[in-house]
Structure 1
Amino acid sequence: MASVFSPPGFDFSNQLRNNFIAEKGLPLPKATSTGTTIVGCLFEDGIVLGADTRATEGPIVADKNCEKIHYITENIRCCGAGTAADTEFTTALISSNMEMHSLSTGRKPRVVTAMTMLKQMLFRYQGGVGAALVLGGVDATGPHLFTIHPHGSTDKLPYVTMGSGSLAAMAVFESGWKANMSRDAALQLVKDAISAGIFNDLGSGSNVDACIITASHTEMLRNVEMPNVRVQKERQYGFRRGTTAWKSEEIRNLIVSEEVTMLGGGDEMDTT
């Protein structure tokens, strides 16, 4: 089966569809609010990435222990905030492209290459792909740390935060980060930054994941800190029926009325 490629340039078919729906008087779907805290910082030998593990679906906690630090290459990792499906498939696509690039060139891939691939892809969709990313890794030119926004803009900084809990995490970084930090100090700072996002942002929560990348190896620390461990009650509290008194009782019949609006008539069924 032959592959079908989309034509070059931007695709505005969804915008035309939305305008058509609005003209018909139908309500447009609302954007889903997502939340996360992802961070990264440099230290003397490499970088440390961190993320919380809560996935939300509106006001509902969909997953308490999801993984937000995604594999790109052996020496590069990418933290994702935003729409979970977009971050998963975007990082998986770039990981595949980076592997093909490495096989084609015969060289160890560089962090700036992954950053360029990500920003070019996200810019093409003009923010339609809800992926806010923190990209970090160590290559032949040293450690590198980038933030990549959903519209394709990028920043290169010694410490970065993204997601709905980024302000709380940035407050920790600005007060505690120092140049040439040790591994343990950088890891503790990342844990404190993620914890600040967890306790000050409703969209962030559960546990803390971290990833330490140096020139020699990559160490993934799953659930390195668990500030919200569920505690069992010391005893069961059972109350007998009638313990709470009430003053009055009222029973109401619930009457539900619905109004159905027909939007155009369909073709009649052929009964011949």
Structure 2
Amino acid sequence: MLPLSHTSTQDKGNADLGPRSGFSFINCRRNAKLLAEGFQPPTPVRTGTSIVGIIYRDGVILGADTRATEGPMVSDKNCSKIHYLQNHIYCCGAGTAADTEMITLTTSSQLNLHQMSTKRLVPVVCASIMLRRTLFRYQGHIGAALVVGGVDRWGPQIYCNHSCGSNDKLPYAAMGSGTLAAMTVLEHGWKPDLDLEQGKQLVREAISAGVFNDLGSGSNIDLCVITKAGAKYLRTDTVASERGERQEKYCIKPNSTVVKATSVQNLLVASEHCYRVSLFPSCWKFYSEINLGDRSWPANTDPDEQPTTSASAKAAECQGKKKGNKK
């Protein structure tokens, strides 16, 4: 066993380096070198999302859609965006999928340690503060926008945590790419004394508004109802946008057209008349008068069999007037 005053060569080398930070940035230099050589980084998977949280009479209701996008492509149609923090605290995440997953897992483990240390129920504000400190430390480089909801001894609470590290305590909140559409529904329909069914329907309508007005949101609607008795996670509560089914096979041969339907009708020709329509617009009124006023035939007679001398006379008169004007 070495004495306390003894220092190995390796320890001397480490002592010369000075204080070290708690993070390793070797991968940052590697990434910069790869970018300089023309390597294109992969596109991160983002949950372009509509997430909602409201306070109702007996607790909190959280809602989210289930579409995850990777640029212009839909990478996952049934992604879970409501994350577990504690038995009475859940969190909806929008932004980069990997960031939301990891920050909620890390915060959940920290809350477990906090509960074991204090021997009491973790307040909802404690979870919001932990998330806020982590997001503020990275100054927006963690692409996660979170809606935290839960019920503790102070009652139901909703916290809105932005990726920059700021947070708000609100009676209802909406985040993600479908925020504007969802917030209009919440501002119109939210009331402090909503019951359970009214609150669930309001959350469904808010998420549906985000789904139908934002390409990054879609698929199904997940709900999470939190009360003093516990939480109930309703996976695929509503199918917002169903996929259309093909009714027929569309295998069309080249240089051909599909005939949808064929209809043959027998036409009975009563009489044939040939009219020479004048090219002068001023004569069109005579034909309109002929069609409306000049055909006054007795009853039980066919108008097409009557003579059209008045029509030809008026047309000739019109032609004569035009020639006279030209002279």
TM-score band w.r.t. shorter chain: 0.7 to 0.9
Equivalent residue in structure 2 for 1:163, among 166, 173, 176: 176
Q: Distance in 1 between matches of 2:31 and 2:64?
A: 38
Q: Distance in 1 between matches of 2:56 and 2:32?
A: 52
In the superposition, relative to structure 1, how do residues 182 and 116 fare at CA in structure 2: closer, same or farther (>3 Å)? same
Q: Distance in 1 between matches of 2:250 and 2:45?
A: 37
SS at 1:66 equivalent: coil
Q: Distance in 2 between matches of 1:236 and 1:16?
A: 52
The AA in structure 1 aligned to 2:165 is G
* Alignment partner, residue 112 of structure 2: 99
1:4-24 deviation line (CA, Å, top 9, x unaligned): xx736xx69589849966996
Structure having the higher Rg:
2
Asked whether the equivalents of residues 45 and 68 of structure 2 are also in contact (C-alpha less than 8 Å), the reply is: no
Structure 1 length-normalised TM: 0.80
* Alignment partner, residue 227 of structure 2: 214
Asked whether the equivalents of residues 53 and 149 of structure 2 are also in contact (C-alpha less than 8 Å), the reply is: yes
SS at 1:235 equivalent: coil
Query: Highest relative contact order (Cα 8 Å, sep 6+), 1 or 2?
Result: 1
Q: Distance in 1 between matches of 2:209 and 2:99?
A: 25
CA RMSD of aligned residues (A): 2.6
| Bigger proportion of residues as helix | 2
The AA in structure 2 aligned to 1:177 is W
* Alignment partner, residue 7 of structure 1: 21
Give unmatched runs, 5+ long, in structure 2: 1-19, 258-327
1:113-143 deviation line (CA, Å, top 9, x unaligned): 1111111111111111111000000011111
1:60-107 deviation line (CA, Å, top 9, x unaligned): 100000000000000000000000000001001111111111111111
* Alignment partner, residue 161 of structure 2: 148
1:187-231 deviation line (CA, Å, top 9, x unaligned): 100000000110001111111001000111211111111022223
Q: Distance in 1 between matches of 2:84 and 2:164?
A: 22
**Identical amino acids, percent of aligned pairs:** 50
Asked whether the equivalents of residues 21 and 28 of structure 1 are also in contact (C-alpha less than 8 Å), the reply is: no
Structure 2 length-normalised TM: 0.67
Asked whether the equivalents of residues 45 and 97 of structure 2 are also in contact (C-alpha less than 8 Å), the reply is: no
The AA in structure 1 aligned to 2:52 is V
Using the TM superposition, name which of 217-226 and 29-38 deviates more: 29-38
* Alignment pair present for 1:67 and 2:80: yes
Q: Aligned-pair distance for 1:153?
A: 0.3
The AA in structure 2 aligned to 1:41 is I
Q: Aligned-pair distance for 1:234?
A: 2.8
In the superposition, relative to structure 1, how do residues 20 and 142 fare at CA in structure 2: closer, same or farther (>3 Å)? same
